[in-house]
Every structure is written in C-alpha cells, then in structure tokens.
C-alpha cells in the first residue's frame, strides 16, 4: 500500500466507516442491490460517485469498453456477473454506462504500429465493438460533421443493450416487465449524462 492509499484508507475508516457503522453492519450479512451497472474499466468512471450511491446499492461489472458480449455458453466474467445479478440477486435494472473519450472505442481507429505494446487480449476483446464502429462509420459517411468517436461510444452502448435482450433469462423478464434496461453516455469533461431513448433511438440529455 503506498502512502496515498494508506492515507485514503485511514480517512475512510475514520470518517465514512464511522459515520455509516450501521449500514456496514447490515451489509456484512447480505446485499440486495436493485441496479446493475456495466461500465468501462476506465479510471475516470466512478458510478457510485456519479450517482451518489451508498455501498450495497450498485452491483457493478467493469470491463474494457463497457461491453456486453453475445450470449454464448462460454467462459466470461461479464456474462457470469450479469447472470448472477439477474438470476441470483433479482436486480430490477441494468444500466450500460458508456463515456466520452473512451480509449476502447478510439482504439478501433488506431493504425497498427510495430512498436505497439502487447495487447493480444485487448485486441481480441475489442472485436465486440466492431458492430458499433461499422454503425458509426455509416452515420459519419452520411453526415461528416459528426464525431465518429462519440458515435462509436453511443452505438457501443446500444449494441450492448441489444445483446442483453438476447440473453434468454433477460428476454423472459422483459416480457414479464420484471426488468428494465438503460443506456447512459457520460461526458467526463462536463458531467453531463445522456440516456438512450428507445422510441426516439437517440441519446437525450436528462438535465437542461
């Protein structure tokens, strides 16, 4: 533990933990979150801070590019997290939280270079973002003024939502109205959040 972390941990114990002793005591026995957040591993994204959420409120799965892989009977930590959240914890809402300046989405447009560090697994993982890249390129072809990176980030969120809808147990819950799916795009520089509107097929700002 470096000094920064040690100081941070001491402050947590002294301030936050002390103030919320009862909360932690009840959480020590079980959790009952109602919302699952699937977001990017990016260090700038902190769902609990963004939503002012307490421990126990958000079940979070993180990966490079906030990707939901297709439903396939293969090993996958994101698929296992979704399965556990929905089938064991019975969460009521899944939010795909994407963001601006996402390195995973931008990487789709990088040229291969000889001096590239080893990114074998990253490259394999990023194949899940190819459909979002294709959709963004089509839109930019029609309207070159649009920001291709932001479009890719947003299409990537929509692709993840579509894939979630193909998970059989989520499909069943959607039909029975027992779960809702949401797609959010968070702008790091402004703090703005836009939410995907399924009927308008667009991301709309939630605060004017």
Summarize as ranges the residues that interact with Zn ion (CB under 5 A): 40, 42, 102, 104
Kindly tell me which of 33 and 98 has the beta carbon lying closer to Zn ion.
98
CB of 156: closest distance to Zn ion in angstroms? 9
Question: How many Å separate Cα 35 from the centre of its chain?
Answer: 12
Kindly tell me which of 167 and 185 has the beta carbon lying closer to Zn ion.
185
Kindly tell me which of 42 and 194 has the beta carbon lying closer to Zn ion.
42
Residue 144: exposed, middle, or buried by beta-carbon count in 10 A (0-12, 13-18, 19+)?
exposed
Helix, strand, coil fractions of the chain, as percent rounded to 5: 45, 15, 40
54/71 Cα distance (integer angstroms): 31
- Tracing tokens 């026995």 back to the chain, one arrives at 29
CB of 109: closest distance to Zn ion in angstroms? 14
CB 76, CB 125: distance < 8 Å: no
Kindly tell me which of 102 and 170 has the beta carbon lying closer to Zn ion.
102
CB of 103: closest distance to Zn ion in angstroms? 6
Long-range contacts of 78-81 (CB under 8 A, 24+ apart): 78/38, 81/36, 81/38
Question: How many Å separate Cα 183 from the centre of its chain?
Answer: 9
CB of 201: closest distance to Zn ion in angstroms? 22
CB of 65: closest distance to Zn ion in angstroms? 6
Kindly tell me which of 132 and 179 has the beta carbon lying closer to Zn ion.
132
CB of 137: closest distance to Zn ion in angstroms? 19
Distances (CA, A) of 187 to 35, 50, 112, 140: 21, 11, 28, 20
Kindly tell me which of 86 and 126 has the beta carbon lying closer to Zn ion.
126
């Amino acid at each position: 533990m470096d000094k920064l972390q040690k100081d941070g941990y001491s402050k947590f114990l002294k301030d936050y933990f002390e103030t919320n002793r009862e909360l932690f005591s009840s959480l020590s026995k079980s959790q009952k979150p109602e919302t699952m957040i699937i977001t990017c591993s990016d260090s700038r994204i902190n769902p609990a801070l963004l939503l002012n959420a307490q421990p126990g409120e958000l079940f979070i799965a993180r990966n490079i590019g906030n990707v939901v892989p297709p439903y396939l009977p293969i090993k996958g930590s994101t698929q296992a997290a979704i399965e556990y959240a929905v089938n064991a914890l019975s969460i009521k809402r899944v939010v795909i939280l994407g963001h601006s300046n996402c390195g995973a989405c931008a990487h789709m447009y990088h040229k291969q270079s000889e001096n590239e560090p080893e990114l074998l697994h990253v490259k394999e993982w990023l194949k899940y973002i190819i459909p979002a890249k294709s959709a963004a390129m089509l839109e930019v072809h029609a309207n070159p003024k649009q920001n291709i990176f932001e479009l890719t980030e947003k299409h990537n969120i929509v692709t993840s939502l579509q894939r979630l809808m193909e998970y059989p147990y989520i499909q069943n819950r959607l039909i029975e109205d027992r779960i809702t799916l949401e797609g959010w795009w968070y702008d790091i520089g402004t703090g703005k959040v836009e939410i995907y509107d399924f009927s308008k097929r667009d991301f709309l700002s939630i605060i004017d």
